Amino acid sequence: METILLKNIHNPNSADISEYKNIGGYRSLEKALAMEPQEVIDEVKRAGLRGRGGAGFPVAMKWTFAAADPKFPKYLLCNADEGEPGTFKDRPILEKNPHILIEGMVISGHALKAEYGYIYLRGEYPAAKHILNKAIKQAYDNNLLGENILGKGITFHLAVHQGAGAYICGEETALIESLEGDKGQPRIKPPFPVNIGVFSKPTVVNNVETLSNLPYIIEAGGETYAKIGTPDCPGPKIFCVSGHIEKPGVYELPMGTTLKDIIYTHCGGIKGGKKLKAVIPGGISTPVLPPDKIDCHMDFVNMPKHGSMLGSGAVIVMDETVCLVKVCYRALRFFEHESCGKCTPCREGTGWLRAILERIEQGHGAEGDIDLLLSVAGNILGKTFCPLGDGAASVVQNFIKHFRPEFEEHIKAKKCTVNG
Amino acid sequence: MKIIAITINGKEIQLEKAVTVLEAARSAGIKIPTLCYHEQLERYGGCRLCLVEVEKMPRLQTACTLMVADGMVVRTETEQIADVRRGILEFLLINHPLDCPYCDKAGECDLQDLVEKYGPAKGRFKEKKRKVAESLADSAIVRNMERCIMCTRCVRMCEGKQGASAIAVIDRGGHSHVEPFSGGKFDCEYCGNCVSVCPVGAMMSRLHRHSYRPWQVKERHETVCPYCAVGCTVVAQVRDDVIMRVIPKLGSAVNNGMLCSRGRFGYEFVGSKDRLTTPLIKKNGKLIEATWEEAITLVAKKLSDIKVTFTSQAIAGISSLRCTNEDNYVFQKFMRAAVGTNNIDTTARTGFAGAQSFIENIFGQGATANIISGLANSDTVLVIGGDPTTINPILGLQIRACARRDGNVLTIGTIDGLRHFNPTKLLPKLQTEATLLEGIVTALREKKGLPGSNAALEAKINEISITADEVIDKTGVSGAELSAFVDLLATAATFSLVIGKDIVQSTGGSYKLLLLSAINYLANGRIYLLSEKANEQGALDMGCAPDILPGHRPVAYPEFRKKCENIWHVELSDKPGLNLFEMIETADKGSLKAVYVMGENPLCNIPDSGRVEAAFRKLDFLVVQDIFLTETAKLADVVLPALSWAEKEGTFTNMERRIQRVRKSVHREGMEDWKIIAEISKNMGYSMDYRGAEDVFHEAAKVSPLHRDLTYEDIENEDNIYPYKGEPLRDAKEEIQVDRSARSAATGTLYLKIEKPLFHSGTMSTKAPALLNIYPQSVARVSAETAQAFSLTEGDVVRVKTKAGSLALFIAIEKDGDSSSVKISNNFEGKNAFRLTDCILDPVTKAPCLDSIEIIIEKVTA
Amino acid sequence: MFNDASIKEIAEIRTKYPNSRAALLPALYVAQREFGWLSPEAYEAVADLLSVPKATARGVGTFYAMYKQKPMGRHLIQLCTNVSCMILGAEKLVDFLKNKYGIEPGGISPDGRFSLVIMECIGACGTAPAMLVNEDFHENLTEKNLEETLEKYR
């Protein structure tokens, strides 16, 4: 398939505006600026674009809410806080193809009548910060950002706001708090950001990959775009594959490509020809799948039917040498570290789950610990302020659901039975 | 309006406005457990205890955040919900120590109560609990982070309500804990409102640490704070006749659950070992213990003798801004009826009294009787002449609330307590406020025109004219700043003007008050006159002034005198008495022979303390009635111990002129101030026979047209808002006097500025150990720049000198302080700022001008 | 106190936002760079400059893992040990750093040259194990190339 989002990234100068323009960059912006904002929204609606951050919310719907709010100025925030472990899909766009994002943001800004945009970039991407700042400067110099863009009377200012190491800021209201100079703790919803967002103004938060789809949607038209992928979830999707895989990396494939195809057709199968033991399909918060469940279409609609989620499309492949108790423990260490502390179940529960897993992993597990894990996870699930706690609980539940014997053996043998 | 109908646990509830499910449930008497919710704070949704089932919603919902919607069906008591609550409490108990037997909170701990009700009886957490040592780094607040359940109520209180932002949640997740910036000492405003809202034993007052259990408190007395004129409702919790703590009350009219440092931590003066216990009589230059009989007989005899020998006019009385209305009423009646003179005044003369008369003469009586909470709802507030957040802290919070609600807060000069509230500031050069105010009046008049409702004032406004260029040139304020400021005033729909004493006590103070009155008039606002003492307004309204009778009626009017005469059965002098400053002057000259001081410390509280002392030393006879042996009391011939605020019944009138009940909280041997006076009066042959404070008030309500028919019952029923059932004085306006001549031209480099610390008020607060721990002594506070210029470091000793006097003080350095002033407070006897001031009076308000006192600093080498 | 260049930089950052509070995170980065870590003085400097209460500034600063609350070594090693890196041997690299350079996670090497912080995914999972040294990514790490890489940071 011809790549849309990762087009030209193998060109060493792909981040430069002239290279981007050479391959037709910013022509969609010109086209979009000639359209009425509502026409842009309609085009996106025809495209059926869903948010690529993980939730898959229809983009046109979110935009419509924000556009309908009478308050100004409006803000467009790009969520570049790619923190879901296993995820590195946005990084190539940010580092190698920044202008597709900028162009996408200006188009979106026009559609929303938003005058200000920020790219909320995770602190762990220092290189991307410099690249984006340079690209933004080039865009300003070329009258593609700022006042009266391309002489069309449109204003859109853009700046990079760097996060500082907090996974929770990927949650849109936490991101907004963080942009406002506060702790990244999620807000009560409603009100939703589309009405009361950053600086109390209507705000749309879209993921890097989502926004980068805009130039193509405008260029090719929504209908053409919608032919890519599946009818429910059109468009290309960047999958990032890591772990025990022959050819790890980023792959731009149609939405709905099966997990099996990704692993075996595109990525060359399990590293060293070893046996597949487990796959996390969409980043660490998504339910782990055993090998017999990987023949599933990777999209927002189909994955839940297979007991998991598309998430960020971050595929982590684990072969037979991996101790899943340890992976589960490591995952909970992550959730404990990233819990913002606002709500009781997540703040106290993630640490407790980690503690139980830690003792099992270190050979001090006791009978009843698995039930205790499930009970504690159950006391978290559905009771937390935001989805972070749910993610932690469901990781434990799903590892136990699919790999309970391994946990039992670990407890019984008082040591790891996979790697001795 | 559309009614919202919802069903909770099968019970249908009708609501007139959208509230949270929790509030709806509570209104219907359905209890939903909570920890992070607090009615004073914003919705939070953190603890998750209030999760409930809502039909058609897939997830459980927190009742404290979910707004009701018509047709909503909620269930709060299901098996699932019981499990959820147990689960949440189990999570909280993972790290919460089970040290209830040792914890002061036990017995009034929300967590303890909830676990008792919902379980779990036993936890399943096998790992070690978090261990954090209790922090005793602070003298007032004990912080115990082991017990903290991260409800963040303290932080939300500190940031969102108090506006101090002195504590914050540090770290995140399971490591989250609450700390002041230093990690130890709080160094904050010490309102202690964090302590009020903590549901567990994580933030507690150190004052009563391990001294009693909550259930041992048998008495709770709702009374009024003794410190400033805001008049906060406080609850004194008493055990065995000792106040164990003072707490605020939710829902109270003035302070609604908030307190300041003085109100919360300043009560210990009541039980101070320094309290006077017995009358003292000076013999051979020494104060010797005496019986009540000896003392009362002596005072009565001496005053009677002086009256005979030198006439009544040789006797004067200084009454108290801290005593009750009843005390003050009896005191002025004693002076007028028993002694026979109008020589009665209070330290309200140093600013408040003159300023209020001036303003009332323009706008009518009651012009400053405005409801404090109205400030929060004003769209524009202008503050000048003092920091409301330290002088009247709870009023200050209302200004902060206004800023938080996106109101425009304007200040002339820097108001430190509004620093983080983004005020629109004008910073005129030293002593150019009058020019700036003229500029504002001129521009505002041009912008808005004259409303035409106050001819006398408009005549004065029309005399004011200054060009913007002149204002810019003289004040150093830029044209853009000035016009932006005037624009905000001009577009204000609900304007409030807050005036502090610094402007009253400045050179040309009365002219500035005229200009401020003009601004208030043009912007159609209301005026708040800051007042430092609890019953300053009450003392005036009870007639403790040389020219006014109870009800704020002029002595000069025969009809008002007549009314008093009829009830008091004596003939009153129509001659206005000596005011406070005239008393000092005549004492100094030798024509005033005796002064009776009730609950006041003139040596500290009247400017030019040295001169006051010299004058008092010349008196033939000085009586001081107080609760402590003050500097003034030490000079007295007779000292009479009085009962304190906590030991008597009565009323205070706050700055809104709201009358509130002061209630006896603890018992102590002795007499109320009014009772002592009545005894002396009786000995002088003028009988005053009252059964109690209520009886006194009853008489005052007969004498005073303002307090007409007002009873304690009315006051307790909150029918206590000005002008009660009485009537303000109308049509007694005099020509507005203006004195434009007094303008000080700044020539010096450093000026004395009287600091009004948050932690002290008068000298009474220096007898409260907790406040003294926070602010232990008088210091000379200078800016970092000044410190550098004089090579001073924190803690150096300096000698500060003015024309009037000199003091040796420690240096304190303020990072962003103003470099033209040396700030010294007036709270510490012998080291008070008034030792350094002269006492030149404004010709109109008769307030002392204290703004242009040049001061020199000399470093005292060790 | 900040030096003039930092004050200017923060003033410039401030213009990107509608209020000064929003400039807090970037200003803390500037302070961290200038003071080496977010010392009480650093927090006070930022708080004063942006007119944010200092306790609030510290509360915000301590929330984020990348703001350092204690002094740091000359070079900052941020090594990822999250799942993708872990299953490809990141933990061995942690041991290697401990043995070779004497650095514990969260600590400083005895010579003050390196600080080590264990990271929660740095977005280099396809080239795991990976680390950042200061602002540079180093990927597909082995003990050998890790040592060679660190040699470049003196």
Instruction: Give long-range contacts, CB 8 A cutoff, 24+ apart: B295-298.
Output: B295/B638, B295/B640, B296/B676, B296/B679, B296/B680, B296/B683, B297/B683, B298/B638
Distances (CA, A) of A119 to A200, A211, B161, B289, B587: 18, 11, 33, 79, 76
Q: Which residues of B touch C58 (CB under 8 A)?
A: 168, 170, 181
Q: What is the pLDDT of residue B43?
A: 96
> Are C64 and A123 inside 8 Å of each other by CB?
yes
- The mean pLDDT of B711-715, rounded to a whole number, is 97
The pLDDT score that the predictor gives to residue A1 is 61
Q: What are the tens digits of pLDDT across the range B8-44? A: 999 999 999 999 999 999 999 999 999 999 999 999 9
Closest by alpha carbon to A161, among A89, A76, A99? A76
Q: What is the pLDDT of residue B119?
A: 86
**pLDDT confidence bin for A345, thresholds 50/70/90:** very high
Mean pLDDT of the region A54-67: 96
Contact between C56 and B159 using a beta-carbon 8 Å cutoff: yes
- The mean per-residue pLDDT over the stretch A161-184 comes to 98
Range name among A7-11, B231-235, C123-127 with the lowest pLDDT average: A7-11
Chain B residues within an 8 Å CB radius of A166: 172
Q: What is the pTM of this model?
A: 0.96
Q: Looking at chain A from residue 64 to 123, which residues have their Cβ under 8 Å from any Cβ of chain C?
A: 82-88, 90-91, 122-123
Q: In chain A, positions 182-201, which contact chain C (CB-CB < 8 Å)?
A: 182-184, 199
Q: How far apart are CA B421 and CA B165, in angstroms?
A: 11
pLDDT at B664: 98
Alpha carbon of B59: minimum distance to chain A alpha carbons (Å):
6
Beta strands B659-662 and B4-8, pairing class: unpaired
Under 8 Å between Cβ of B322 and B598 = no
pLDDT of B573: 93
pLDDT exceeds 80 at position B836? yes
User: Would you state the pLDDT for residue B431?
Assistant: 87
Between positions 601 and 640 of B, the ones with CB within 8 A of A are none
Return the pLDDT at B727. Answer: 87
Q: What is the rounded distance in angstroms from the CA atom of residue B82 to the CA atom of residue B120?
A: 10
- pLDDT for B232 equals 98
Q: Which two tokens stand for residue A12?
A: 């060493």
Ranges B99-103, B120-124, C38-42: which has the least confidence: B120-124
**Closest by Cα among A166, A210, A203 to A50:** A210
Distance from CA of C148 to the nearest CA of B (A): 35
Task: Please write the tens of the pLDDT for every residue from B268-293.
Answer: 999 999 999 999 999 999 999 999 99
Confidence of residue B394 (pLDDT cuts 50, 70, 90): very high
Looking at CA atoms only, how far is residue B148 from chain C in angstroms? Answer: 16
Sign for the pseudo-dihedral over CA of B14, B20, B21, B24: negative
Helices (H) and strands (E) in chain B, counts: 28, 34
Kind plus residue range of the DSSP H or E element containing B568: helix B558-568
| Whether the Cβ atoms of residue A169 and residue C11 lie closer than 8 Å to each other | no
> What pLDDT digit, counting tens, does each position of B428-482 carry?
998 899 999 999 999 999 999 999 999 999 999 999 999 999 999 999 999 999 9
| pLDDT greater than 80 at residue C69 | yes
Of all residues in chain B, what percent carry a pLDDT higher than 90?
Answer: 95
- State the pLDDT at residue B748: 82
- Give yes or no for A111 touching B (CB within 8 A): no
Q: State residue B407's pLDDT score.
A: 97
Mean pLDDT computed over every residue of chain B: 96
Cα–Cα distances (Å) from B465 to A37, A222, B471, in that order, read: 53, 68, 11
Model confidence at B728: pLDDT above 90: no
What does the DSSP assignment read for A326-364?
HHHHHHHHHHHHH--S-SHHHHHHHHHHHHHHHHHHTT-
The predicted-structure confidence for B478-493, as pLDDT tens digits, reads as follows 999 999 999 999 999 9
- Scan residues 8-27 of A and list those with Cβ closer than 8 Å to B: none
- Specify the DSSP class assigned to residue B47: S
The whole-number average pLDDT for the span A179-197 is 98
Out of C67, C123, C127, name the one closest to residue A87 (CB): C123
**3 state DSSP class of B199:** coil
Residue B114 has pLDDT above 70, yes or no: yes
Provide the pLDDT for residue B862. Answer: 60
Tokens linked to B509: 């103070």
Chain A residue with Cα closest to B177: A341
User: For the residues B118-126, what does the mean pLDDT come to?
Assistant: 91
Confidence of residue B743 (pLDDT cuts 50, 70, 90): low
Other C-beta atoms lying within 10 Å of the C-beta of residue B747: 9
- Taking all residues of chain A, what is their mean pLDDT, rounded to a whole number? 97
Burial of A232 from C-beta contacts in 10 A (0-12 / 13-18 / 19+): middle
- C121·A84 Cβ contact <8 A: yes
For residue A53, give the nearest of A125, A122, A127, A132 by alpha carbon. A122
Instruction: Give B480: exposed, middle or buried? Use CB within 10 Å, 0-12, 13-18, 19+.
Output: exposed
CA distance B219 to B200: 22
Q: Could you tell me which chains touch chain C, where touching means 3 or more CB pairs under 8 A?
A: A, B
Q: Is the pLDDT of residue B744 over 70?
A: no
Question: Among B172, B404, B420, which would you mutate to test the A interface (most chain A Cβ atoms within 10 Å of its Cβ)?
Answer: B172
- Residue B742, pLDDT > 90, answer no
Q: Which residues in chain B are closer than 8 Å to C43, comparing Cβ atoms?
A: 181
Residue B731 predicted with pLDDT over 80: no
Rounded CA-CA distance B633/B640 in Å is: 9
